[in-house]
Structure 1
């Protein structure tokens, strides 16, 4: 296998989670940081939809972040992120990617969605935060006593939600979730994939 090529955008949560899985799995990858205002023609030729991340491995193009994560883990999953294929992993990621992301977008960009208040969009997103808080009641990670694919796929989105109003999140009752997010943000893996090239 030749070196993989990943088109990424540092702050995009989808690109972030793709980088996390690739780094964790030890796959050699060259990362091209994309300017969203001037997307490279080479990336658009591979993936006309024009969104990051896009992974090119020996001519195989993978355009969805979760598929990139799964591809990376199929190469090497030393700490059992897949939890032996536990369906709860993918159920939780689906809920994040469909429902929570919908409310997150409206909370973060409430001025674009004047039908409801920012607080109402936040309250709708909080239903998912409470679910995660409950999952963390008896352990440090969402589905196991160690990080799994679910933790790594969700954390960039919870981070984004928390950053919309940091004072609110810090004062919120989601203390287990706050600690979980802090562990993620301080982890060597996250720090390494967020380092500016």
Structure 2
């Protein structure tokens, strides 16, 4: 009886230990599953956040690339405007010199042909300048940007000459170019500050 009782106590202890081990295993397994699910959710949230950050960085990069592209297009347009102004000045000066001389016979006919060609070119240049003026105004649309306002104002001062068929003083063109350079420098500094 003592042996049986000891044997039942041993079995009872083994069953208790086995039951505790099974319960402990089940709790550990449930903990592992909960941990895996939570880890998966956290990884999913982290991945979503990383995707959002990557998209924002990509959008920001595209925005700055478009601003640089816009500045380059504006620079080309202003350069074309100044080049056309210089060419128009040259034709106006030639026309002024031709008009001061007197012509007879064949010379008069050559003068008329030359004057007609120049007149066509001046008309085309004037139309180009009007179009370029409009485009520059559209490109420089920021009302609160003092640099853009200075460029628009100087451009309008230059426009007052060619719209009346007058030569544009070199000093006006030089000031216009300097103001445009200041604006582009300011824009590049702003971009550099924003991207740093």
The question of a shared fold, defined as TM-score above 0.5 by the shorter chain, is answered with no
TM-score in terms of structure 2 length? 0.30
TM-score in terms of structure 1 length? 0.30
Greater share of residues in helix: 2
| Larger radius of gyration between Structure 1 and Structure 2 | 2
